[in-house]
Amino acid sequence: MSNELCPVCGFPIEGFSDVPLAESFFICSCCGFEFGFDDGVNGDNYESYRDRWIANGCQWWNKREAPPKGWNPVSQLRNIGVG
Ligand SMILES: [Zn+2]
């Protein structure tokens, strides 16, 4: 397991050692992007999804899990070179 950043929103996510993120069907708790779905049949890509997420006010996606203390979507986006 390795930690990597969500390519959409920059939120740290748990990587999968044996499955590429793009095929993992992992859903980012922060932006809600589902890898292998939203970038597949849904016709989105990281950029288009991210633009919409930002336009909607960078809302935390996972209703069952609170965002981490001090969560800051703006500095998080900077970590992946956005903003
Ligand atoms: Zn994300």
Tens of pLDDT, residues 66-81: 999 999 999 999 999 9
pLDDT of residue 15: 60
pLDDT of residue 1: 40
- Cα of 42 to ligand 1 centre, how many Å? 16
- Cα of 12 to ligand 1 centre, how many Å? 8
pLDDT at 42 over 90: no
Structure tokens at 7: 């390519």
Q: Where are the alpha helices (DSSP H) in the chain?
A: 46-55, 73-78
For residue 34, give every residue at least 6 positions away whose Cβ sits within 8 Å of its Cβ, in sequence order, or none.
Answer: 25, 26, 27, 28, 42
- Cα of 69 to ligand 1 centre, how many Å? 17
What dihedral do alpha carbons 25, 29, 32, 36 form, nearest 10°?
-10
- Cα of 34 to ligand 1 centre, how many Å? 9
- Cα of 30 to ligand 1 centre, how many Å? 5
What's this model's pTM, rounded to 2 decimal places? 0.87
- Cα of 31 to ligand 1 centre, how many Å? 4
Average pLDDT over residues 1-19: 78
pLDDT at 32 over 50: yes
Exposure b/e, 3-21, CB count within 10 A at least 16 = b: eebbbbbbbebeeeeeeeb
pLDDT at 20 over 90: no
